[in-house]
Chains A and B, each alone.
Chain A
Amino acid sequence: MSRGRTWMKALAGDAVEAPVPSVLCADGEVDGCTARFLAVVPDPESPFQRARNGELGLREAWTLARLVREAAESDLSGSRRAIVAVVDLPGQAYGRLEETAALHLALAAASDAYATARLAGHPVVALIVGEALSGGFLAHGFQANRILALDDPGVTVHAMHEEAAARVTMRTVADLRRLADSVPPLAFDAATWASLGMCEPLIGGVDVEDPGPDDVRTVRQRLAASISEARDSPRDLSVRLASEGARENRQASIAVRAKLAEQWG
């Protein structure tokens, strides 16, 4: 079972539905409040052949956009439910059909749906349980107010697969790994990624593949804390740059904004 499916079941149980075979959605609860959980999962039968292994493709991205927008729409007059993106994505779908039918627009739609929900006051939390790669992650997870990640070797975040990243930058995989020791943004592991100020402290001591009741309780507690923090903080992404990690590893991002504000006029 994919990690995405495992954690959807663990967190939302019987509420899990599949509006399309490759997208799971559940209106569950966290800490007594409604939360919409969303994940992309493999569908070996998908007519989109390049999106059968859990990649974010045309169908998945437009479906996520719909599910997030519908939640936001129906909460317009009431309390804004939390939206939890469970992330286990080997990336976006690489295919000719996908490009022809404007996958870039589909990903924009998903990204914007999450961002718009966040700006409307929905706490949006991403929970990374597996891979969070490239454009897939930009569209499903990276627009969250708060990002949580499990401390596990199977949890990786990157702009491109390791082999492809090595090829494009004309290095060997071994070189790339060595470089990553001194250049943190090149690393693939969750701990180094967290050191860039991207996410909350990693959630350790959890069995990711086969979570027991204690594991689920731990994750739910962290989700609840992040949701309540998100409700009480600005709706933009400024929390990332205010983090300790960013002060250490994203000095350039901070300096650029400070200087830009000085010269803006």
Chain B
Amino acid sequence: MTRTGSWRPTLARRSFIELPARERSRAILDEGTFRELLGPFDRLMSPWLPRQGIVPQSDDGVVVARGEIDGRAAVVLAVESAFQGGSIGEVGGSKMAGALELALRDYDDGRPVRPVILFETGGVRLQEANLGLAVIAELNAAVSALRPVVPVVGVSAGMVGCFGGMGITAGLCSYLILTRQARLGLNGPQVIEQEAGVEEFDSEDRALIYAVDGGEQRFEMGVADALVDDDASLVRDTVRAAFSLGVPEVHRSQEFGRYGELVERAASSPPTDPASLRTSWGRSEVSQRLADAVQEIEETPA
């Protein structure tokens, strides 16, 4: 989504991408409601990094914040890409999974909480390998348990992107919001080049990377629901709009019939140009309703 009309909003906009995780969370929540849980002063750090000569960080690179979205209880989980490339270790992953487990408990007690995940991550932190994998499994379990009753909204803005096990988590989200700078996939370009060779994927080819994994491509082929400018208030309004739509009737990742056919077709006539999927797959069904809801919010005086 782009703001049209006057040039003033463009000049006045505040970048979301440039914000660190804590400020991103604050930007998503209603003003003045941000409250961080397990903040730096709780000093819950990775027990595994110091044993490998790596300095841990006092929040392990994940910010958990309670607050409100449109006056409703919310929790925002934000990965800080500046620490260890946004990789997920035991502590950071447990913070995310644990928060969603509590959100489910609250729902069962009649107090729904709106969960938002801000992805900026390459997936498992290899220095915590099997525990990184385990906590992502627990996070995915929590998303699967929560999303039938409360929509789980994901945002990836860039510049790290969202890959590895966390790409799976993004795939589980009820609504996914990307910017043009975002990249979303399973295996990052370097990993593919390493495993399959440069002729399979040239990880230095920026145009190729964005053609395959880029936010615009993922939106146009329907595996994300909104494409937004790098504008903090627009990202926030799109998150608000997503919650206003409620739990989707069918989650994308339940559609084995549709996607089973689409991927078989992709195998029999491999898309030489990824952009061809924009017509053959098409935008997500909710993308238009989401865009309308954003517009409505934008037009409502604060």
Contact = CB atoms under 8 A, between A and B. Distances in A.
A58 B263 CA distance: 7
Contact of B165 (A50, A135, A264): A135
A119 B260 contact: no
Interface stretch (B5-13, B187-195, B225-233, B236-244): B187-195
Given A138-B136, A256-B94, A104 B170 contact: yes
A115 B256 contact: no
Given A94-B196, A112-B251, A187-B130, A260 B102 contact: yes
Interface residues of B, number: 82
A248 B91 CA distance: 15
Contact of A164 (B44, B195, B259, B267): B195
B46 to A, nearest CB: 7
A138 B98 contact: no
Contacts of B64: 260
B90 interface: yes
A112 B172 contact: yes
A237 B141 contact: yes
Contacts of A139: 168
Interface in B237-279: 251-257, 259-260, 262-264, 266-268, 270-271, 274, 277
B223 A256 contact: no
B51 A183 contact: yes
A221 interface: no
B105 to A, nearest CB: 9
A98 B256 contact: no
B126 A112 contact: no
Nearest to B169: A108
* Chain A interface, DSSP helix/strand/loop, else mixed: helix
Interface residues of A, number: 76
A153 interface: no
Contact of A112 (B51, B66, B254): B254
B37 A142 contact: no
B260 A66 contact: yes
B52 A92 contact: no
B253 to A, nearest CB: 4
Nearest to A182: B51
A100 B200 contact: no
A90 B263 CA distance: 21
Contact of B140 (A143, A161, A184, A259): A143
A99 B277 contact: no
Contacts of B90: 185, 250, 252-253
Interface in B114-135: 124, 126-135
A259 B98 CA distance: 10
Contact of A69 (B131, B132, B145, B254): B254
A165 interface: yes
A223 interface: no
A96 B126 contact: no
Contacts of B1: none
Interface string A125-166: 000000000110111001100000000000001111100110
